[in-house]
Structure 1
Amino acid sequence: MSDIKRLESGPRMSQAVIHGGLVYLAGQVGNAGDSVADQTRTILENIETLLEKSGSDKSRILQATIWLETMDDFAEMNSVWDAWVDPANPPARACGESRLATPDYKVEIIIVAAAKD
């Protein structure tokens, strides 16, 4: 188990798990009740912080899974995502509609990234 590193662990989950050169982030959410754009900005800031703590960065993101409370918010979320994502290194990405933990959450993003060598 020494080859697995967990960051910001609680009784239910870790915010990041590093293993085999990969960084797995838990689903990140913004501030409940904020707009889709503001939740997305907060999530992306959290992702950058967690990747930095994990020895990675957004240029090394391999896959992003994005859940929206409604696909009606796709364009608003993408307006923030498109301004943030590394255009030279865009990840594989999926986006779908799902009921989130509470109706106040509009966006959740899950990331898998490569750790830096």
Structure 2
Amino acid sequence: MSIRRIEPGHRMSAAVVHGNTVYLAGQVGNPGEDVTAQTKTVLSEIDRLLAEAGTDKSKILQATVWLADMNDFGAMNAVWDAWVDPSNKPARATGESKLATPDYFVEIIVIAAI
């Protein structure tokens, strides 16, 4: 079975396709934005990478959301709820974690079918 790497970089690929599954690296927003804007940026990037892999958000199987501060849970969920396919909601977990820099407030990782 083949493996296709999307946007391979020095340390990682933005996404990896194996068989009929795509695994996205954690996506973050733009430093300086608030959690709402960062979440919108992240979800837009997820849409773009899924399209590059030949799929879309209706086929997301699992999402892992990391928040720098769980007090942002409601703001992130407001953006997520407006974005997620209402007929095809994935399994999802959300936790609090230090992210790569203090300028990042949300990171989302998804696995999707193709």
Please classify the TM superposition score into its range, dividing by the shorter chain length: over 0.9
Q: State the distance in 1 between where 2:9 and 2:60 align.
A: 24
User: Where do residues 53-68 of structure 1 align in structure 2 (5 Å cutoff)?
Assistant: 53-68=52-67
Runs (4+) of structure 1 exceeding 6 A deviation are none
Secondary structure of residue in 2 paired with 1:109: strand
Q: CA deviation at 1:20?
A: 2.0
Task: Provide TM-score, normalisation by structure 1.
Answer: 0.96
Q: State the distance in 2 between where 1:45 and 1:63 align.
A: 17
User: Where do residues 18-97 of structure 1 align in structure 2 (5 Å cutoff)?
Assistant: 18-97=17-96
Corresponding pairs, count: 114
Secondary structure of residue in 2 paired with 1:45: helix
Q: State the distance in 2 between where 1:101 and 1:78 align.
A: 21
For structure 2, list consecutive stretches of 5 or more residues without a partner in the other structure: none
Secondary structure of residue in 1 paired with 2:16: strand
Q: RMSD between aligned alpha carbons? A: 0.7
For structure 1, list consecutive stretches of 5 or more residues without a partner in the other structure: none
